[in-house]
Amino acid sequence: MCTNEDRINYLDHAATTPVREDVLEKMLPYFTQKFGNPSSLYALAGEARYGIDEAREQVAEVLGARSAEIVFTGGGSESDNTAIKGVAAARALSSARSPSNGHIITTAIEHHAVIHPVEQLEKMGYASTVIGVDSTGRVDPGEYAAAVRPNTFLASVMLVNNEVGTIQDVSEISRQVREAADRAGTSVMVHTDAVQAAGKLSLNVDDLGVDLMSLSGHKIYGPKGVGVLYVRRGTELEPLIAGGGQESQMRSGTENVAAIVGMGEALALSEAERVSSRPRIQALAERLIEKIAERIPSSIFNGSHIHRVPEIANFSFVGVEGEPVLLGLDFRAIAASSGSACSSASLEPSHVLLAMGISPELAVGSVRISMGRETTETDIDDILQVLPEILQQLGTFPAGARS
The DSSP line for 238-297 is --SS-SS-TTTTTS-S---HHHHHHHHHHHHHHHHHHHHHHHHHHHHHHHHHHHHHHH-T
Tell me whether residue 2 is one of the annotated catalytic residues: no
Q: Which fold has domain 9-18+276-393?
A: Aspartate Aminotransferase, domain 1 (3.90.1150)
Q: Which fold has domain 21-269?
A: Aspartate Aminotransferase; domain 2 (3.40.640)
Banded model confidence at residue 83, pLDDT cuts 50, 70, 90? very high
pLDDT tens-digit map of 192-207: 999 999 999 999 999 9
Banded model confidence at residue 97, pLDDT cuts 50, 70, 90? low
Closest CA to 372 of 306, 281, 292: 281
pTM of the complete model? 0.93
Closest CA to 178 of 209, 133, 140, 204: 209
**CB 327, CB 385: distance < 8 Å:** no
Of 45-49, 180-184, 280-284, the one with minimum mean pLDDT is 45-49
Mean pLDDT of the chain: 92
Percent of the chain exceeding pLDDT 90 equals 84
What is the per-residue pLDDT for 95?
72
Alpha helices in 296-376 (DSSP H): 322-331, 351-355, 360-363
Catalytic residue among 342, 389, 392, 403: 342
Q: What is the mean pLDDT of residues 83-95?
A: 91
CA distance 282 to 285: 5
Q: How many Cα atoms occupy the beta-carbon half-sphere of 180 within 13 Å?
A: 25
Q: Indicate the helix (H) or strand (E) that contains 10.
A: strand 9-10
Q: How many CB atoms lie within 10 A of CB 122?
A: 13
pLDDT tens-digit map of 285-343: 999 999 999 999 999 999 999 999 999 999 999 888 888 999 999 999 999 998 644 43
**CB 162, CB 14: distance < 8 Å:** yes
What is the per-residue pLDDT for 98?
62
Amino acid at 29: P
CA distance 46 to 64: 26
Amino acid at 318: V
Q: In Å, how far are 78, 265, 280 from 20, measured between CA atoms?
A: 23, 10, 19
pLDDT tens-digit map of 370-382: 999 999 999 999 9
| Domain locations along the chain | 9-18+276-393, 21-269
Three-class SS state of 109: coil
For β-strands 346-348 and 341-343, DSSP reports them as antiparallel
